[in-house]
Structure 1
Amino acid sequence: MDKSVEQQIAELEGALEQLKRIVFKGELSDREVKSKLVVLNAGARLADGRHIATGKTTGSSFGSATTDKISFYGKPSITQPGAIASPAGGATVDSEARTAIDAIRLALKNLGATA
């Protein structure tokens, strides 16, 4: 039997209130949050002073593929940039600088900021 329009509206209102609690107040328990898939087609804004807590065992991620687009601080969204080449060649070889550059490259790669 089909639900009445009133029942559908009531369900949508309930879902909206639950979403508000998740995003703006953090009032749901871990179990409630983990059991819900939240899809935001119009974006979301966290209330000032709120944080996104992630798991400490396997961790969490933004973007599930290198082709997913992500941006920060209002910049245009981009896919994962390619790898940054290790320094090579040049008239002057500074091994300490090259070691530092390679450490930065590795940190960016491990973070997922580059391939």
Structure 2
Amino acid sequence: TTRLSGFGSPAWSDEIVEFMLAWLIFLGAAGLWRRGEHFRVDLIAQMTKSAVARRYLAIVVELFSITFLAILTYYGSFFAFLATDTSPTFSLPMFYWYASMPVSSGLMLIYSLAHLWRLCFRRPATA
């Protein structure tokens, strides 16, 4: 290994790992959001017997999600655009690191809007 040979790891490898990890985590979260695979507490939905009530509950939850994601996208963009520092090794603007949050929350916002559209305008299945 390079660690044992005395050369150590290159300085730029830390920055690459930080950059890739930030983007991987946030874009992975957006992918999970799109498929509806994020952790959720559905105790109330399970206790509700009526399909109509569950649908309205899903709409309310989606509206809360949209509100949260809109705020996260706005303030995440604000924070990213305020970043004036640069990365130590590559001297790249830290904007590229910080932009992972508003980009992914913006994607989640789009996915939530599409899901809300489907909830509001699809016809319920008839048995």
Structure 2 length normalisation: TM-score? 0.25
Bigger RCO of structures 1 and 2 (CA < 8 A, at least 6 apart) = 2
TM-score by length of 1: 0.27
